[in-house]
């Protein structure tokens, strides 16, 4: 026997109980996630509620992060600096050191064979020991 259609009020209650987690709300209602998403898409009230609940959860996460920072949790301090203090130089970056000299005037002027040769040389260099600047010259 088909399940009775849930009202928007019931959907809203399930979303609130799950803090905007659509999968959890769907399980509580006996629906699929897709079905709940379709219902939300048809209702501006449900869309607004879902967005508000997600924003509230984001606020909760930020509050928890702030507490961890104030308690001196190194992971929290590091995460915050990498995400919010990039303008102060707290950026993860990978430095690459070029050990061989390649002179290219224009890639457009190179033949496919020349480009393939460069790639092969680079791949071969990765599998062997690094070349020192003295060996490269």
Residues 6 or more apart whose CB falls under 8 angstroms from that of 31 comprise 6
Considering just the CA atoms, what is the radius of gyration of the chain in Å? Answer: 28
What is the distance between the alpha carbons of residues 67 and 71, in angstroms, rounded to a whole number?
6
Spatial contact of 46 and 25, defined as CB atoms under 8 Å apart: no
3-state secondary structure of 13: helix
Q: What is the pLDDT of residue 90?
A: 86
Q: What is the pLDDT of residue 109?
A: 78
Tens digits of residue pLDDT in 47-75: 999 999 999 999 999 999 999 999 999 99
Q: Judge residue 77's burial from the number of C-beta atoms within 10 Å of its C-beta, 0-12 exposed, 13-18 middle, 19 or more buried.
A: middle
H/E segment holding residue 45: helix 44-70
Residues 6 or more apart whose CB falls under 8 angstroms from that of 104 comprise 110
Packing angle, helices 44-70 and 8-17, rounded to 10: 10
Tens digits of residue pLDDT in 110-125: 888 888 888 888 877 7
Tens digits of residue pLDDT in 16-38: 999 999 999 999 999 999 999 99
- Does the pTM of the predicted model rise above 0.75? no
């Amino acid at each position: 026997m088909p399940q009775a259609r849930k009202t928007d009020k019931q959907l809203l209650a399930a979303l609130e109980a799950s803090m905007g987690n659509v999968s959890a709300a769907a399980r509580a209602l006996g629906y699929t996630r897709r079905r709940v998403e379709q219902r939300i898409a048809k209702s501006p009230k449900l869309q607004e509620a879902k967005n508000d609940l997600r924003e509230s959860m984001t606020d909760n996460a930020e509050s928890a992060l702030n507490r961890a920072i104030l308690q001196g949790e190194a992971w929290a301090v590091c995460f915050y600096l990498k995400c919010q203090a990039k303008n102060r130089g707290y950026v993860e970056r990978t430095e690459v050191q070029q050990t061989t000299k390649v002179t290219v005037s224009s890639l457009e002027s190179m033949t496919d064979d020349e480009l393939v040769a460069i790639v092969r040389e680079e791949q071969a260099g990765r599998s062997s020991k690094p070349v020192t600047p003295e060996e490269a010259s």
